[in-house]
């Protein structure tokens, strides 16, 4: 995007991230920070309160140091004893995290106050369109704005690096690159086997899915990155202490545990698989860019508000599918998120496979018509100044 003259001198962005749990908070902010640096030429400081989660997806992180540079991003440990820091031109509080009060004072003391935004969680609900970009609270004279990612026009869009879909397509058309990548993870895919990646929270429905895969006439290779679902996998296999590298065969299904890999490798894993079970926010979006059928395990919230979000996404996603395919995929997603048996839903979904595969590609292309989230943020800033 061509830069406006004023933006040239206003290039410092601060992104604040508190790791609530899991990897989504750091996953989203790290991805955003890198893209802002690489594609928009801004200087980014990423303030993170817990570097251990970060280290899982970026092993170069030194968890013991307060300041370091990773892929052009200045990474700062957001320690409890906050040291004075000058406020940046653009300040992003990710997922409603509370900024240090001394930093808020520093924002207010600037001659020109910064653009202060709250980057919210992703939701497909309609109200997001009405709230995106609206003013929120004020601190002294510094105004905060809501910035909502989303799937529809009028939202802030989704994180998508430039050239991502082209890279993905190239990789998916290159069996040798896929083979080499899988081999680097210790995966030897049997030629006839369908490949499934499984990244999910604990789920009592998993046993029914693995039962269905084990008794299928098509062999399946399930790749499970180390994480919260492993307990359910262990129970189904009747083993304990599953670790990366473990491989177990039960009838037609091979279950293999993978290490937690770097974010870009995780993308490649999704691109290799015929079907991706994903969760939370960032892996969910990456599976959509993989353009393959997917299953979303949504992050549970109090009073089941997450179920409204699930329905809102489904309502958008199934548009354009035939009625039976709609029912199959919606049934599968609902049952998975309720921790129910999914055997029948899985069989129904398999019946509509070609349609669902084509639909995943169409959905991906449709979503890519919207400006990506980093570009939308930069544009928001451009309009604001």
From residue 137, give the alpha-carbon distance in Å to each of 14, 91, 93.
Answer: 19, 14, 13
Closest to 158 (Cα-Cα) out of 183, 208, 124: 124
Contact residues for 294 (Cβ-Cβ < 8 A; gap 6+): 275, 276, 277, 278, 284, 287, 288, 360
CA atoms of 256 and 242, how far apart (whole Å):
9
Could you say whether residue 25 binds ligand TRH (CB under 6 A)?
A: yes
Identity of the residue, 10 or 256, whose beta carbon is nearer to ligand TRH in the bound complex: 256
Region near ligand TRH per CB under 6 A, out of 66-74, 145-153, 278-286, 375-383: 278-286
Tell which one of 7, 17, 18, 24 touches ligand TRH (CB under 6 A): 24
Tokens 């906050």 correspond to 82
25 in catalytic set: yes
Identity of the residue, 54 or 236, whose beta carbon is nearer to ligand TRH in the bound complex: 54
Least Å from the CB of residue 252 to ligand TRH: 24
Could you say whether residue 260 binds ligand TRH (CB under 6 A)?
A: yes
Active-site pick, 226, 232, 267, 281: 281
Burial class of residue 67 in the structure, from the number of CB atoms within 10 Å of its CB (0-12 exposed, 13-18 middle, 19+ buried): exposed
Could you say whether residue 199 binds ligand TRH (CB under 6 A)?
A: yes
Could you say whether residue 22 binds ligand TRH (CB under 6 A)?
A: yes
Tokens 């009747």 correspond to 238
Closest to 95 (Cα-Cα) out of 247, 280, 239: 280
Number of residues counted as binding ligand TRH (CB under 6 A): 23
Could you say whether residue 281 binds ligand TRH (CB under 6 A)?
A: yes
281 in catalytic set: yes
Restricted to residues 45-74, the positions that interact with ligand TRH (CB under 6 A) are 57
| Residues assigned a catalytic role | 25, 281
Binding site residues, ligand TRH, CB under 6 A: 20-25, 27, 57, 121, 199, 225, 260-263, 266, 279-284, 299
């Amino acid at each position: 995007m061509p830069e406006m003259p004023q933006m040239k001198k206003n290039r410092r962005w601060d992104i604040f991230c508190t790791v609530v749990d899991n990897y989504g908070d750091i996953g989203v902010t790290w991805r955003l920070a890198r893209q802002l640096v690489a594609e928009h030429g801004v200087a980014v400081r990423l303030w993170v309160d817990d570097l251990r989660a970060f280290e899982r997806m970026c092993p170069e992180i030194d968890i013991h140091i307060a300041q370091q540079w990773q892929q052009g991003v200045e990474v700062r440990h957001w320690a409890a004893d906050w040291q004075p820091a000058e406020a940046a031109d653009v300040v992003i509080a990710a997922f409603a995290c509370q900024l240090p009060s001394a930093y808020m004072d520093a924002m207010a003391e600037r001659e020109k106050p910064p653009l202060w935004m709250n980057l919210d969680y992703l939701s497909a609900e309609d109200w997001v369109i009405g709230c995106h970009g609206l003013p929120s609270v004020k601190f002294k004279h510094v105004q905060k704005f809501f910035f909502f990612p989303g799937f529809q026009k009028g939202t802030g869009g989704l994180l998508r690096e430039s050239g991502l879909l082209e890279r993905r397509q190239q990789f998916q058309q290159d069996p040798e690159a896929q083979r080499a990548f899988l081999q680097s993870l210790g995966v030897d895919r049997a030629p006839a086997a369908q490949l499934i990646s499984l990244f999910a929270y604990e789920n009592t429905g998993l046993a029914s899915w693995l039962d269905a895969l084990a008794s299928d006439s098509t062999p399946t290779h399930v790749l499970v990155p180390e994480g919260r679902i492993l307990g359910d996998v262990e129970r189904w296999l009747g083993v304990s202490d599953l670790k990366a590298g473990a491989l177990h065969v039960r009838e037609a299904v091979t279950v293999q545990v993978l290490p937690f890999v770097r974010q870009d490798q995780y993308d490649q894993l999704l691109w290799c698989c015929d079907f991706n079970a994903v969760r939370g926010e960032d892996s969910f979006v990456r599976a959509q860019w993989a353009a393959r059928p997917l299953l979303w395990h949504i992050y549970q919230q109090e009073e089941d508000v997450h179920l409204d979000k699930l329905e809102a996404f489904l309502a958008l996603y199934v548009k354009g599918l035939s009625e039976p395919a709609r029912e199959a995929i919606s049934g599968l997603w609902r049952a998975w998120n309720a921790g129910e048996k999914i055997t029948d839903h899985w069989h129904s979904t398999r019946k509509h496979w070609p349609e669902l595969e084509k639909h995943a590609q169409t959905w991906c292309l449709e979503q890519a018509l919207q400006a990506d989230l980093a570009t939308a943020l930069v544009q928001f800033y451009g309009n604001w100044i």
